[in-house]
Structure 1
């Protein structure tokens, strides 16, 4: 039976109120528009002085050899200068209303008396730009307003630091300022701030990357490298500087793992070492025995050697019986740099996760049927073995500036991961989907099952970047190539009992799990897959008369799939070489509003699928159009419409006796999205988004009718968050925020038999922060809404809402 979908008639009123408030907002304090590229600190300060019409007094020796990221945006002069000096070890003081002097940060903290500028062998900067001591490579993200939610640049769409308003594709950025204001605990929680993203449920064992974007599977990247199954401590926030979400097909730049993404990519961008020494330690505790100590330690080992390490340990119970999670990660990073032309960055991540495997609840008994199972019920014996997921990786990046035009980047990674998932699974009349009982009205069979996988990956990539001007055009040309080999092997074993009817049974009206879990030894399949992806690409970004921005790129992409199944003896190999284009343009109608349109393609492998024939790669095509807007850095965002065609999807081959798969399915997704940020002044921050997504089958090869909706994808979803920073002297340092997340219902499986209801969930946060200390508290689902979410276990099931949860964080900086 299908549940009625909850409608939201208030959405037009909410958006009208937001836009009216945006137009009515007034700025506090004089602001200046800055566009300072990454360069030496000396030259950046000269440009700053000219833009802000201030006189700067400083010693040339004090700034020699220091490079800074760029600065772009509209902000007060003090905020801009603080952003430029953030990681330099320097600070500033006003000598009068128009004159500023630089001092070392130690001096700033030890005395309130301005130093005598004559003792610094001063140079008075009048705003004239001098020659630099190194070219801007165009890859590093410029410094931006630290407390702003608005991101001016992004790197995920082009592998260069490109202004968001010049990218002809949807991309959203979650900056650390937003993550900290909301006190996000997991990556999945943070992703609710981006329209059309359905993150994987946090209780799901890290054995597959289940994030959906625009209705289709997405890839999670770590600093540009594909995470593939995304095992280990996938939810940690401790080492993240920002999250960039690129929507839709993109085969040009991302070919590792199993190939390019179909729905989009979630790129986690790591924290990097800074020139200034600091340390931070914190402890978060909360509902369901949640404990999470963490640290962030940054120490320059030498003027040219920087080191930083972060780490986090999490131990937590759950609102579900018997589910307790332990996870940790540690992330050391070492940077060698001459602060001019060459930087070598070495990074590593070690992460572990373990928890009893949570399989959710069947639709019958949770949202349908004549009885109700207790929402907190854990399926399986209480002493079932822990499931585990591990991931270790090391990667490096070498950046070298050749001259004012050319620069090079080389990257490489080695990664090893494995996971072992143990479950006493329900088995119903619909098989392992188990949304329907095997013995109505409330009886299911039980089977012991185990999934084990081991992956080893080698990836290398490199590119050359040129920045130059020809006549009225400014150009960025990128040439690159990459190679990735992923070896993936494992098994699925199951114990169906002596007569094939299970090892036991359970009546969910009064559930008892009296049969102990035992490791099964009967193999269902034991696949071994080698995905090899490689290719070369060229990309040209051009801006004409600073008004029209075009992006043209082409990849000649190769994909080899070598599949073997030790159980059935099946073998299959395929090799595909295909040109994959991306093209788009942005036209600035005014300085505030731009129109964009783009076309892109994708090609990816077929992981962990037992094929009856050659495993052809999956293909996708996307067309997208919309507008982007930015009104003086206060009201910014985008609106977009899109259409994605997905082909060669793995579906069951009904003609095959073993019911193996063929790559033949067809699917389509289309919809409308909008993402908005409004910050009229330094006190108020507002984020809002809305998505309408229609994802469906366009043939009947998957065993369901053409026109059926794809599972897990809500038709409508949205997020609203409002944050306020108190500016009154007696409340300085305090902030508070409140938000709501809304989703319409979604089908549990592709047969569209069961559908969850729509729901909303409120959260709120309050924090006090000084220079050295922070105390924060957050309440999730503070109105205690009762609802179920689609869970996606064996293509079905649901998970209950967590109820009211409270978390408190204490943090100290050294």
Structure 2
């Protein structure tokens, strides 16, 4: 598919402008006999030190380090300087810098003697830009800053989740531009939206973690949302054409610290969590951190509950100054009534969930008809410093998640009747991901290269044993006694005559190699080039009753990625452009016997990033073209051809600001235009139902007192908005989901030894629904108390 001309021109225009500007800037720099002092400030554990006051002694010049820990002083006369670094509550550090005509740039690397966790506490108490920490080693699989990265990504930190009293994983995504209302599937697993594509939660600490059950947020350090096709570094199995979601877990640090927290709220919510960190030996080379959670609550509807536990130990050991080992484990169990899912009637008169009139507070489920889930995630990592320029990183990830028991689906038969379908299932998933990366940071002549090269071996296997039974139709507007008779005692005997299927539903292997290089052409101009080769092997569906296999196939795909960044203001304002690729493996063949190729998604994007001490922002426009989509063969019944196309383009904006001490703002807006551009006649030109609302927005504003007797007292207010969307959208039938505006508020009191919070979600009890037509919570009030030690 041809990329829209306007986007191509924009992308080429940015690149051409950069190339024209560079010589002029270089010539201008050479005409001045002045110098520069710049550098990066980090904590003792290697994290960027944001918000550090930097001053040139005996001058009036001063600045604040940005979210990358960077600072810069320009137009300085030649001579010797003393640079002073200070942070409230800690001793001042200094470093010497020398500027000469022969060496007009002094580049400092300063490490301050306190941990990133202590720095976080200082930023909170000083009222800094608390939610703007976007630096990550996972996004590009190497340490480059947000301002150096041509890719767009969002980060939801644990600090923001604490302020919002987040007690369930899906609530955290209110802070992600364009994520929408979570689609919760039968096993409790979550799928959100990214750039018009349904995107499941399959990545943990940068590698595969096929968790097909509910995720507890107690062990989350942050959530990274990487935008756009990301197969080049992460593969097709883990990312959608819209991006991926990476869960980063809490890791040990070098001081004893902990907290115990209890939350209680509407619908019998009771939640107890603990986070304990401690060194295990005197030299602090062995560290242990344990996070746990116990959670129970019921639904606001007549039936529905959720009970779960989590145990998550994390152990690190620094064998020496070159070798570090990490073992990170999560184990959890879950019991619940399955989430509501509704299929509308295509021949009814109702064309929206509001017209249908399905009672909002009735679940059409029963607490005796439930399922149990279990999951474990084991993450092992070996880091070895090969040399000052090269690091080896070896990762092994093992996962298992399962759902056993009963789930319920609702099918609308007419505008007043529905049928309940109960499935009895045993559905475990087993995943393994092995990665070996070599990460380098070196110079070739004057050009700095940061590179990652690696191999990835990923396997996923799932078995399925299930059967379904249909219940008699009931009048959902006046259900009567039939509603009470829907329970396990009545339903279980029906499975004695049901037909069970037992088969291996997924059995696949992926073998990949990739490399990515970030080249500093100048200190302001960077280029990224990346490539992945992927060999996919699907072993097919195995049916043990007939000892037969169907659907086995193999495919090979190449996935390139290119990007360019020019910093108009060093470390503060940059323009960027990227080309990114994703692919999805497709089974089958056409009428002539030609096997299908992988679907391909090609994104062109351009935008601008800001990173000042008081504001971090990203504005971008993207265009994603999907090719090799299969559609019905008009000349041969029951066959497909592979010439279909799909388009998803739009605008995204995210702002994280600290306009005044104690005042923090997180805001986002997205517009997405998605449609099938060449497809079956029934959907050609129509918006995919999984693309969600075309327009979405999010906002959170909080203010806390940072001085005086009431220091630590704060309030928060915000909400989310989504325009009208579709559950079904074809030429012959459409079924809409109305727009929504959901408002939240909180009040909190945060002190060094304790924290008290009160949160109200959905203040106006707005009625709104997910893509699966699951009714969402009305007003929910949650109180929390946390003890710190």
CA distance in 1, matches of 2:403, 2:186: 9
Return 455-464 or 126-135, whichever deviates more: 126-135
Please tell me whether the aligned partners of residues 564 and 572 of structure 1 are also in contact (alpha carbons under 8 angstroms). Answer: yes
Q: Among residues 436, 439, 451, which one is paired with 1:477 in the alignment?
A: 451
Q: Which residue is equivalent to 1:509?
A: 477
Query: Does the CA contact (< 8 Å) of 2:39 and 2:108 recur in 1?
Result: no
Counterparts of 1:193-208 in structure 2, within 5 Å, are: 193-201=175-183, 204-206=185-187, 208=189
Aligned pair count?
A: 700
Whole-angstrom distance in 1 between the partners of 2:460 and 2:670 = 34
Corresponding residue number in structure 2 for 1:72: 69
Tell me how far 1:195 sits from its aligned partner: 1.5
Q: State which of 350, 359, 376 in structure 2 corresponds to 1:374.
A: 359
> What residue is the counterpart of 2:260 in the other structure?
281
The alignment partner of 2:218 has SS state of coil
| Paired residue secondary structure (2:90) | strand
- Residues 400 and 408 of structure 1 are in contact (CA less than 8 Å); yes or no, is this contact kept in structure 2? yes
User: How has the CA–CA distance of structure 1 residues 38 and 733 changed in structure 2, closer, same or farther, with 3 Å as cutoff?
Assistant: closer
Q: CA deviation at 1:525?
A: 7.5
User: What is residue 242 of structure 2 aligned with on the other side?
Assistant: 263
Give the gaps of 5 or more residues in structure 1. 1-32, 55-68, 84-90, 94-99, 102-124, 428-433, 496-501, 793-797
SS in 1 for 2:735: coil
Shift of 1:186: 2.6
Secondary structure class of the residue paired with 1:749: strand
Q: Does 1:799 align with 2:781?
A: no
Report how far residue 158 of structure 1 moved: 0.9
Task: Give SS of 1:252's match.
Answer: helix
Question: Which position in structure 2 is the counterpart of 1:426?
Answer: 410
207 and 165 in structure 1: CA distance in 2 versus 1, 3 angstrom threshold = same
Alpha-carbon distance in 1 for matches of 2:117, 2:673:
34
Q: Which runs of 5+ in 2 are unaligned?
A: 1-36, 59-65, 73-81, 99-105, 125-129
Equivalent positions of 1:654-665 (< 5 A) are: none
Name the TM-score, length of structure 2 as normaliser.
Answer: 0.80
Partner deviation per Cα, 1:582-603 (whole Å, 9 max, x = no partner): 0111112333432211111122
**Are 1:585 and 2:564 matched, yes or no?**
yes
Q: Partner residue of 1:390?
A: 374
Q: Distance in 2 between matches of 1:425 and 1:343?
A: 48
The answer as to 2:202 corresponding to 1:218 is no
**Matches of 1:141 and 1:545, distance apart in 2:** 33
Matches within 5 A, 1:643-722: 643-647=623-627, 666-701=645-680, 704-711=683-690, 713-722=692-701
In structure 1, the partner of 2:581 is 601
CA distance in structure 2 between the partners assigned to 1:716 and 1:578 by the alignment: 33
CA deviation digits over 1:701-725, x for unaligned, max 9? 4953443433351010001111111
Matching residue of 1:19? none
User: What's the CA shift string for 1:205-236, capped at 9, x where partnerless?
Assistant: 336542221111324311012233x32331x2
1:218 is paired with a residue whose SS is strand
Counterpart for residue 493 of structure 1 = 467
> What TM-score, normalized by structure 1, do the two folds share?
0.78
Shift of 1:362: 5.5
- Aligned equivalent of 1:535, options 512, 517, 531: 512
1:366 & 1:43 partners in 2: Cα distance?
53
Q: Secondary structure at the match of 1:754?
A: strand
Contact map agreement 2:532 2:559 (CA 8 A) in 1: yes
Contact 1:618/1:646 (<8 A) preserved: no
Contact residue 50 and residue 128 of structure 1 kept, 8 A? no
Confirm or deny: 8 A CA contact 1:71 1:80 kept in the other structure: no
Displacement of 1:445 in angstroms is 3.5
Change (3 A) 1:697 1:51: same
Q: 1:699 to 1:254 in 2, by over 3 A?
A: same
**Secondary structure at the counterpart of residue 154 of structure 2:** strand
Q: Choose from 227, 243, 246 the match for 2:223.
A: 243
Deviation of 1:614 (Å): 9.6
Q: Which residue of 1 aligns with 2:33?
A: none
Computed over aligned residues only, the root mean square deviation of the Cα atoms, in angstroms, reads 4.0
1:763 counterpart = 2:736: no
Residue of structure 2 in register with 1:8 after alignment:
none
**Which of 276, 291, 298 is the aligned partner of 2:270?**
291
Aligned counterpart in structure 2 of residue 347 of structure 1, from 292, 307, 328: 328
- Cα 1:217/1:650, change in 2 over 3 Å: farther
Q: 2:149 aligns with which of 152, 167, 177?
A: 167
Superposed, 1:119-134 pairs within 5 Å as 127=96
Q: Quick one: structure 1 residues 639 and 128, their matched pair in 2 at CA, closer, same or farther if it must change by over 3 Å?
A: closer
For 1:753 and 1:467, the matched residues in 2 are separated by 54
Map of 1:390-409 to 2, 5 A cutoff?
390-409=374-393
- Pick aligned residue for 2:765 from 776, 784, 807: 784
Per the TM alignment, residue 175 of structure 1 is displaced from its structure 2 partner at its CA by 2.1
The 1-side partners of 2:140 and 2:397 are apart by 20
Q: Determine which of 681, 702, 706 is the counterpart of 1:727.
A: 706
CA distance in 1: counterparts of 2:241 and 2:355, whole angstroms: 40
Q: Are residue 624 (structure 1) and residue 604 (structure 2) matched?
A: yes
Mean CA deviation greater in 540-549 or 773-782? 540-549
- Aligned-residue offset at 1:726: 1.0
* Conservation of the 8 A alpha-carbon contact between 1:392 and 1:416: yes
Change (3 A) 1:399 1:348: same
C-alpha displacement of 1:184: 2.3
Comparing 208-217 with 579-588, greater Cα deviation is found at 208-217
Are residues 1:775 and 2:756 paired? yes
Does 2:176 align with 1:176?
Answer: no
